[in-house]
Chains A and B, each alone.
Chain A
Amino acid sequence: MSNQTPLLSIKNLHVSVEGIEVLKGVSLELNRGEKHAIMGPNGSGKSSMANALAGHPAYEITSGEVMIDGQNLLDMEVTERSIAGLFLAFQYPMAVPGVSVTAFMRSAMKARHGNSATVLRQFRKDLNDAFELLEMKKEFADRFVNDGFSGGEKKRFEILQMAMLMPKVAILDETDSGLDIDALKVVSKGVNAIAGDDNTVLMVTHYQRILNYVQPDFVHVLMNGKFVQSGGPELAHKLEDLGYDWLKEEAVAA
């Protein structure tokens, strides 16, 4: 049954940046309909994992296997990974001056669906719906991509892109960082609306805050490039209360 195939399967992934190993053998399976959270202190390798999966050229995969819906992700270029259904909501999205949000979204939709008349006819409506979902003003459509956006606007725009592209696997890299509580609620509402039975969401976060609004089914703790603990949502609460220190001791003891 193809439905039993995990949407993302990571086996013993090792990643280096400039010759320094940042992920030291990580395995994880994301199935349809599941929400996962990866938590960990700064420098634990969380963002490295997100970037390596998206195919950032600075992250070298030295060994391991990653499959997206049964296809070998590591054989794919960055572009192909996106088309195959991977999406990364960036921690620091790049500005592209002179390119309007509409032009950018249309290019991204064209890259997926070609010049499909149905999709292009739908485009305006879909974009407007996405604006509404993320409580963004229509004027946003004419602004340049991330150019002069506030921190909150950038994060909303990342989730707007997710709503438009409808990925199979969405990785949210510290999407909650730098958001005030209202923006966090809006962004979370967006993620919850998009998450469904046919996709999976992986939230990478330092704090448990966003997990109050987007309830994960599984929480994994990454430390020093390795998973040291996995559990249900209660693990996130424990971390919020106790910090990461108790796990450090366990990691050393193990």
Chain B
Amino acid sequence: MEDAYIRYTTIQNWAPNIYNLVTKRAVAKKNSVVEWVDGNIGSKLTMKYPCINLVGEGAKGEILTVAIAGKGQHQDSGAKVIHAAPNTSSRIIAKSISKDGGRSTYRGLVKAYPNAINSKVNVECDALLLDDKSRTDTYPTMEIDSDRVTIEHEASVSKVAEEQVFYLMSRGLSADEARLLIVNGFLNPFVKELPMEYAVELNRLIELEMEGSVG
């Protein structure tokens, strides 16, 4: 539909023996907005790349995705945006946390067809590693067939610094509380986009995930 707005929010917390292979696709027509908000906490393996086809002029797409990979988990997630009309814009924010030997992967595709003139793309990938056993990879693919597209891409990987934990502990927080606060801060831009009930639920899940995890 033209001029439509849709936001689809999912938080999955599957059991650790689940293979979670998901397809999510959306089509955005003229001047419409599609937003995927996606959180992956559970499952053994997740492969999920929410997709938006921007087929109408002025269409907008936003994909906000968060993955937490703990022991024995591989969160392979990302985003896919196809710019197939003029003046379209997209924004991807992907955040991942890897801990206790977990592995997270960002896999993204941004494609711009020759008619996607004056289109804008903004991609931001941030990974947080809680220990040396865990792993994170980023595979951002861009296929740009139009020379009138503005693209921004930022990627960062940070380790929970000992110094940060020390700072918080020196104010009386336990090591676990310190790490939880750092993780919550890292996820803050994601959590504040969630409906209240989801945000509360997610915070509780993260708290459970972080319990007794040693950095």
- Give A contacts to B, CB under 8 Å: 54-57, 77-79, 81-83, 87-88, 90, 93-99, 103-104, 107-108, 111-112, 144-145, 161, 165
Q: Can you name 19 A-B pairs with beta carbons within 8 Å?
A: A55-B170, A93-B167, A94-B163, A94-B164, A94-B166, A96-B164, A96-B182, A98-B186, A103-B181, A104-B168, A104-B171, A107-B168, A107-B171, A107-B177, A108-B172, A111-B177, A112-B172, A161-B171, A165-B171
Closest Cβ of chain A: how far from B96's Cβ, in Å? 15
B17 touches A (CB below 8 Å): no
Closest Cβ of chain B: how far from A237's Cβ, in Å? 32
**Supplied contacts A78-B169, A90-B170, A108-B173, 19 more A-B pairs, CB within 8 Å:** A55-B170, A79-B173, A82-B169, A94-B167, A95-B164, A96-B164, A96-B181, A96-B185, A97-B185, A97-B186, A98-B184, A98-B188, A99-B184, A104-B168, A107-B173, A111-B177, A144-B185, A145-B185, A165-B172
Closest Cβ of chain B: how far from A41's Cβ, in Å? 25
Residue with the greatest number of chain B CB neighbours at <10 A, chosen from A83, A94, A108, A145? A94
B200 touches A (CB below 8 Å): no
Please indicate the chain A residues that have their CB under 8 angstroms from the CB of B184 in the complex.
98-99
Using A96-B182, A97-B186 as known contacts, say yes or no to A111 and B161 having CB atoms under 8 A apart. no
CA distance A54 to B185 in the complex (A): 24
CA distance A57 to B175 in the complex (A): 13
Residue with the greatest number of chain A CB neighbours at <10 A, chosen from B175, B177, B185, B188? B185
Residue with the greatest number of chain B CB neighbours at <10 A, chosen from A81, A93, A97, A144? A97
- Give B contacts to A, CB under 8 Å: 161-164, 166-175, 177, 181-182, 184-189
Please indicate the chain A residues that have their CB under 8 angstroms from the CB of B187 in the complex.
98
| Contact pick for B172, options A55, A57, A79, A98, CB 8 Å | A79
User: Are A99 and B167 closer than 8 Å at their CB atoms?
Assistant: no
CA distance A97 to B187 in the complex (A): 10
CA distance A95 to B187 in the complex (A): 15
Closest Cβ of chain B: how far from A228's Cβ, in Å? 29
Please indicate the chain B residues that have their CB under 8 angstroms from the CB of A112 in the complex.
172
User: Are B167 and A96 closer than 8 Å at their CB atoms?
Assistant: yes
Please indicate the chain B residues that have their CB under 8 angstroms from the CB of A54 in the complex.
166, 170
| Contact pick for B170, options A78, A96, A99, CB 8 Å | A78
Majority secondary structure of chain B interface residues (helix, strand, loop or mixed): helix
Please indicate the chain B residues that have their CB under 8 angstroms from the CB of A55 in the complex.
166, 169-170
Please indicate the chain B residues that have their CB under 8 angstroms from the CB of A77 in the complex.
169
Using A98-B189, A107-B181 as known contacts, say yes or no to A57 and B162 having CB atoms under 8 A apart. yes
Closest Cβ of chain B: how far from A47's Cβ, in Å? 14
Please indicate the chain B residues that have their CB under 8 angstroms from the CB of A95 in the complex.
164
Chain B: CB-nearest residue to A54 = B170
User: Are A57 and B186 closer than 8 Å at their CB atoms?
Assistant: no
Closest Cβ of chain B: how far from A210's Cβ, in Å? 21
Please indicate the chain B residues that have their CB under 8 angstroms from the CB of A99 in the complex.
181-182, 184-185, 188
Please indicate the chain A residues that have their CB under 8 angstroms from the CB of B171 in the complex.
82, 104, 107-108, 111, 161, 165
CA distance A98 to B189 in the complex (A): 7
Please indicate the chain B residues that have their CB under 8 angstroms from the CB of A82 in the complex.
169-172
Chain A: CB-nearest residue to B174 = A79
User: Are A83 and B172 closer than 8 Å at their CB atoms?
Assistant: yes
Chain B: CB-nearest residue to A145 = B185
User: Are A57 and B167 closer than 8 Å at their CB atoms?
Assistant: no
Chain B: CB-nearest residue to A108 = B171
Please indicate the chain A residues that have their CB under 8 angstroms from the CB of B170 in the complex.
54-55, 78, 81-82, 87-88, 90
User: Are A98 and B185 closer than 8 Å at their CB atoms?
Assistant: yes
Please indicate the chain B residues that have their CB under 8 angstroms from the CB of A56 in the complex.
166
Chain A: CB-nearest residue to B126 = A97
Please indicate the chain B residues that have their CB under 8 angstroms from the CB of A165 in the complex.
171-172
Closest 7 pairs between A and B when the two form their complex, measured CB to CB? A98-B185, A98-B188, A111-B172, A99-B185, A82-B172, A78-B169, A94-B167
Please indicate the chain B residues that have their CB under 8 angstroms from the CB of A108 in the complex.
171-173
CA distance A165 to B173 in the complex (A): 12
Chain A: CB-nearest residue to B192 = A98
Residue with the greatest number of chain A CB neighbours at <10 A, chosen from B169, B186, B189? B169
CA distance A82 to B171 in the complex (A): 6
Closest Cβ of chain B: how far from A253's Cβ, in Å? 39
